[in-house]
Structure 1
Amino acid sequence: MADRRHIATYCGIASPIVSLGAIVLATIVAPTETFTWQGRALSDMGRYGAPTFPLFNGGLIAGGLLGLPFGWRLWSASRNTLERLGTLLLALTVVGMIGVGVFFLEHTAVYLETSLHGLAALTVFGVAPFAAWVYGSGAALAGDARLAVASFWLGNVHPVAWLGWVLSIGGVDTNMWFAVPEFVAAVALGGWTLLLAVTLRHRPDGELAAPNR
C-alpha cells in the first residue's frame, strides 16, 4: 500500500512536468503559421492537422492521466471535508485537461458532430482556481498555514491573469494574446499540483499532517 502511495505522489510531480513541458516544447517548434503568442491560443498547436498536434495533445493527455492517481493520493491524505472537496475539483480539472487533448480543435472533422473542446478548456481554466481556494481553506482549517497561503495565492493567479489580459487589450478577443493568460493559468495550476505533491513527498509519514507549532 505504501508503494502505491509513493508512486501516486510521484505521479503528482510528473503530471505538471509532462503537460507544461509539452506545451513549452510545442511553442518552440510550432511554425508561425500555426502558433504565435500575439495572435493564437495554445490549443491552436493541437488543432487537427497542425505539426505539433501529437506533441501538444499527447502531452496534455499524458499529464492528465498522471494526475488521476495523484488525485486518489491527495484524497487519501485529506484532513477534512474542504480538502476532499478541493481534491475533487482538482480531479475535475485534470479530467478537463485530458478532454482538451482528446477533443482537440476541429475534432469534429475526425469524430463527433458536436465540438467539446470549449467545454473541456472551460473546465480546466474555470475550475482550477476554485480547487486551489477550496483546498486552501481546508488546509487553513487543518492548521497548515503555509500550504493554505500558497494555495490561495496560486489560485489568485488565474483571475489576475485573465483580468490583466482583458484590461491590456481593452476587451475579450481570442485572436489577441490569448495564449498568454492561458499559459500563466496553466503554470499556476501546474505549480500548485507540484506544490501539493512535493509537500506530501517531504512529510515524514507521507501524510498531510499539520506541521508542529
Structure 2
Amino acid sequence: MSTSLAAAYSDSSCRRLERLSGPVAAVVAIGSILLATALSATFTWWASALSDLGTVGTTAWLFNGGLVIGSLVGLPYGWALWTAAADWLGGIRAATFVAALLSMAGVGLFPSGEMLHFPFAIGFFLLCAFTEAADGIARFRLTTGKLSMIVGISSIAIWPLWTGWLAPGSGIAIPEFIGAVLFCLWITALSPERPGSPH
C-alpha cells in the first residue's frame, strides 16, 4: 500500500472512530442514568431530579461516573465537528458541543449540593440546546438542519411547559431526561458528523 493510500486509510479510520465516539458517549451517559434509576430505592420520576441519583447510595458512583466517562468518550466527536466546520456557525456548533460535554462531566464531578453543581447543570442543558440550534441555523436548507432547530427549541421549551403547566411543583427528572435524550438524538441521527453521514 502506498504512503498516500495508507494515510487516506488511516484518516478514514480515525474519522469513523471520531464519529462513533458521540453515539457511544450517548449510550454510556443515558445507560448509566437509566441503570441508576432502576437501582435507586428513593428516586421517582415525578418527584426527583436526575442529580439526586448522584448523591446517595450505590447509584452515586454509577450516575456520576457515567457522566464523566461519557464526556471523555465523546470528546473526539467534538473534534470531528470542528474539523468539518464550513463556517463560523460550524465552529460554534463544535465549541458548544465540547462545552456541553465538559459541563456534563462537571455535573458528575460536583454532585448535587455542591456549589458548582447548579451552574454546570444549567450550562449543560443550555449548551445542548444552543448546539442543536446553531446546527439548525447552519444547515437550515437541509431536512436534518430543520429538525435540529426543532430539537433545540424543544430542549428549551420543555422546561416552562413542564414546570408551568404540565406538572408545576413536581420534580424535574422528566424534563432533564427529555433534554438529555434530545441531545443524544441530535448526536446519533441529526448531526452532520453522525455515523454514516456523507463526508
Q: Same fold (TM over 0.5)?
A: yes
For 2:139, the aligned partner's letter is A
What is the percentage of aligned positions where both structures have the same residue? 31
Distance 2:193 2:76 in 1: 16
For normalisation by structure 2, the TM-score amounts to: 0.87
Distance 1:44 1:166 in 2: 18
| Deviation per residue, 1:95-129 (Å, 9 max, x gap) | 1001101111245xxxxxxx110111011112211
Distance 1:203 1:125 in 2: 25
Whether 1:124 and 2:134 are equivalent positions in the alignment is no
Q: Residues 174-185 of structure 1 correspond to what in structure 2 (within 5 A)?
A: 176-185=170-179
Of 129, 151, 154 in structure 1, the residue corresponding to residue 151 of structure 2 is: 154
Whether 1:6 and 2:16 are equivalent positions in the alignment is yes
Partner of 2:60: 53
Structure 1 portions without partners, runs of 5+: 108-114, 208-213
Of 15, 19, 22 in structure 1, the residue corresponding to residue 32 of structure 2 is: 22
Partner of 1:210: none
Whether 1:192 and 2:186 are equivalent positions in the alignment is yes
Q: Residues 4-153 of structure 1 correspond to what in structure 2 (within 5 A)?
A: 4-32=14-42, 35-47=43-55, 49-107=56-114, 115-140=115-140, 143=141, 145-153=142-150
Distance 2:63 2:100 in 1: 17
Larger CA deviation: 87-96 vs 155-164? 155-164
Structure 2 portions without partners, runs of 5+: 1-10
SS of 2:145 mapped into structure 1:
helix
Distance 1:198 1:127, change over 3 A: closer
- Asked if 2 retains the 8 angstrom alpha-carbon contact of 1:83 and 1:137, the reply is no
- Asked if 2 retains the 8 angstrom alpha-carbon contact of 1:13 and 1:198, the reply is no
Distance 1:130 1:202, change over 3 A: same
Distance 2:70 2:147 in 1: 22
For normalisation by structure 1, the TM-score amounts to: 0.82
SS of 1:57 mapped into structure 2:
helix
| Deviation per residue, 1:25-72 (Å, 9 max, x gap) | 11111102xx1112211000001x422011111111111111111000
The alignment yields a C-alpha RMSD, in angstroms, of: 1.9
Distance 1:203 1:38, change over 3 A: closer
The alpha-carbon deviation at position 164 of structure 1 amounts to 1.4
Distance 2:157 2:191 in 1: 24
SS of 1:50 mapped into structure 2:
coil
- Asked if 2 retains the 8 angstrom alpha-carbon contact of 1:10 and 1:197, the reply is no
- Asked if 2 retains the 8 angstrom alpha-carbon contact of 1:90 and 1:128, the reply is yes
SS of 2:139 mapped into structure 1:
helix
- Asked if 2 retains the 8 angstrom alpha-carbon contact of 1:61 and 1:102, the reply is yes
For 1:189, the aligned partner's letter is F
Distance 1:170 1:40, change over 3 A: closer
